[in-house]
A and B are shown apart, each in its own frame.
Chain A
Amino acid sequence: MPSHDVMPNMELYQPVQVEDALAIADRLADRGWLVGGGQDTYGWLKDRAKETDAMIDLSAIESLRGVRETSDGIEIGALTTLTEVANNSVIQDKFSLLSQAAGVVASPQIRNIGTLGGNVSQDVRCWYYRRGLSCYRAGGNLCYADTPQGMNREHSLFETSRCVAASPSDTAPALVALDATMVIRSVDGERSLAAQDYFVGPANDIESTTALRTGEILTTVRIPNTWANATFYFEKVADRNVWDFSLVNVAAAFKVSGGNVEDSRIVCGAVQCTPRRVTNVENAIQGQAKNAATAESVAAMATDGARALAHNSFKIPLMQNLVKRAISA
């Protein structure tokens, strides 16, 4: 396959009002491609693995940037950069779980332009798919990764359905753990989804990782005060500390009273196509002491139902250890 060093030619729209962006997205429908920071988009287009007639560049829409405090939490504009999310003092004060997650995405330069909305909405990183092969996710009828010789070290342990690609996002597990709400707009109005429902696995839609429909734009992420100032734990394990996507990550929030866990959210990334809440572990530690002994006793439960592929069985102990560290930290 040839490698290309420039972008193919196409139209570019640069609306400055969200209403204009929605109108363009509606008018162009499948001919248009929404771009936030572009750090997922440009690779697809340069590689000629996907194509579009027009890019709808959202980056000039100032109303979709920034962090606002509301009566019951905070609102983050979907175009807020990951650097801004990581450094924002309100998020650091109340939801440091998200600051930590945003601060370890990719590299400094990518965080300077990559957006929160883009980080949670980016496509999967399976190289067969991204190389433009006609796999299930690309509308074909086979999977190149889930084969004995396939390169599937980075792929999923759970809830695979033809496609075995894993969720690449570091902020998505944090948003699920914080019970965030995703606000989605189209020309027809606004709808909200729980973060958990925003992410879609291949059994439900094999061609999209999110619930976004054609013509819709993710505008805002709302985080309620439910988990403000809880005890947080975030850890990302990747081959390199910079650029690389998580092999497994964990985002956890605990409400602790008298040393015991009152309530918790433990969510792992990169183990299936969507962030995976380990509710069986959450239930098991409720009322238990938040310590190493409890962690040890429940760690194995975290991977109940895991199905390793040919080369990713290391993710099973890795995920167990991350859950263990989240609880014992």
Chain B
Amino acid sequence: MYSNTTKNGAMSVNSKLTRRRFIKGVIFSGAAATTGTGMYLAANAQSGQSAAERLVTLNINGRNRPVDVLPSETLAYTLRYKLDMTGTKIGCNRGECGACTVLIEGVPNYSCSVLTHNVKGKAVISIEGVKAADGTLHAVQQAFIAENSPQCGFCTPGQVMSAVALLNNNPRPTRSEAIDAMSGNLCRCGAYEHYINGVMRASGQLA
């Protein structure tokens, strides 16, 4: 079923069953079916001589999320289609745009180009985990609003993640450092200056 939904690219969607719900249904039945082999593989997992176990627990935004992950699944796919965290956008899906940027152990990475099985035991922060527990927006998000940084907004989650990673390591970057740190995030609207202004405002260097 999995390969049918993806090989065709666009699957037919009837009015009662959205694509996302359909996929979630597939995942649920898949999880039930693999539990047995998962137990078996766990015993051999130490040497890596056997194939990776499918049932894994991920640390996403500080929460442990058990999920059934296919061997070659990307993190962006898992976040969006299995954990329903659709804030992370898939733009090019080839590591050439930056819309899917998330933080893995604090380091910005393209989640479309990282296997989900590579982040087992690592702390992942996605755009959903940037705001405070009480819902207060992160300084970067506030600054991007103040500076009208997004135009169409599709690249914005990735831009926020790169900016947050920069400011975590370098709270008062120069404009040039900000440009370097944000250089792995494309904006087809060309709102780069607005994003850089946002980073400078978030770091308190722009009144």
Which residues of A line the B interface, CB within 8 A?
Answer: 2-17, 20-21, 23-24, 38-39, 42-43, 45-46, 54-55, 57, 59-60, 106-110, 112-113, 241-243
In the bound complex, what is the Cα–Cα distance between A324 and B6 (angstroms)? 52
Is A20's CB under 8 angstroms from B47's CB?
Answer: yes
CB distance from B50 to the nearest CB of A (A): 8
- CB of B74 within 8 A of CB of A42, answer yes
Stretch of B58-66, B101-109, B130-138 on the interface side: B101-109
Min CB–CB distance B24 → chain A (angstroms): 15
Assess the B71–A42 pair: CB atoms within 8 A.
no
Q: Which residues of B contact A113 (CB under 8 A)?
A: 109-110, 113-114
A146 and B160 alpha carbons, distance in the complex (Å): 43
Tell me if B51 and A5 are in contact (CB < 8 A): no
Number of interface residues of B (CB under 8 A): 40
Q: Does A11 contact B48, Cβ atoms closer than 8 Å?
A: no
Given A7-B73, A13-B48, 20 additional A-B pairs, CB 8 A: A2-B9, A9-B3, A9-B70, A12-B117, A16-B46, A16-B47, A17-B47, A21-B48, A24-B49, A42-B112, A46-B93, A54-B51, A55-B71, A108-B108, A108-B180, A108-B184, A110-B110, A113-B109, A113-B110, A243-B96
How far is B90's CA from A21's CA once the two chains are assembled, in angstroms? 32
CB distance from B13 to the nearest CB of A (A): 15
CB closest residue in chain B, given A19 = B47
A268 to B62 CA separation, bound complex (whole angstroms): 47
Q: Contacting A45 at CB < 8 Å: which of B72, B96, B108, B110? A: B72
Q: Quick one: closest A residue to B48, CB to CB?
A: A15
Establish whether residues B72 and A10, one from each chain, have CB atoms under 8 Å apart when the complex forms: yes
Q: Check B40 for interface membership: any CB of A closer than 8 A.
A: no
Nearest first, the 6 A-B pairs at minimum CB distance are: A15-B48, A107-B184, A12-B71, A7-B72, A109-B184, A12-B52
Docked pose: A215 CA to B77 CA in angstroms: 30
CB distance from B25 to the nearest CB of A (A): 17
Which A residue sits closest to B50, measured CB to CB? A13
Q: For the complex, is B95 an interface residue (Cβ under 8 Å from A)? A: yes
* A7 surroundings in chain B (CB, below 8 A): 70, 72-74, 77
The answer on a CB contact under 8 Å between A110 and B184 is yes
CA distance A191 to B13 in the complex (A): 55
- What's the minimum C-beta distance from A267 to chain B, rounded to whole angstroms? 26
Q: Which residues of B, 7-54, contact A by the 8 Å Cβ criterion? A: 7, 9, 46-52
- The reply to whether A107 and B98 contact each other, CB–CB distance below 8 Å, is yes
Query: A-facing mask of B64-95, CB < 8 A → 1, else 0?
Result: 00000011111001000000000000100111
Asked if A112 and B107 sit within 8 Å, CB to CB, the answer is: yes
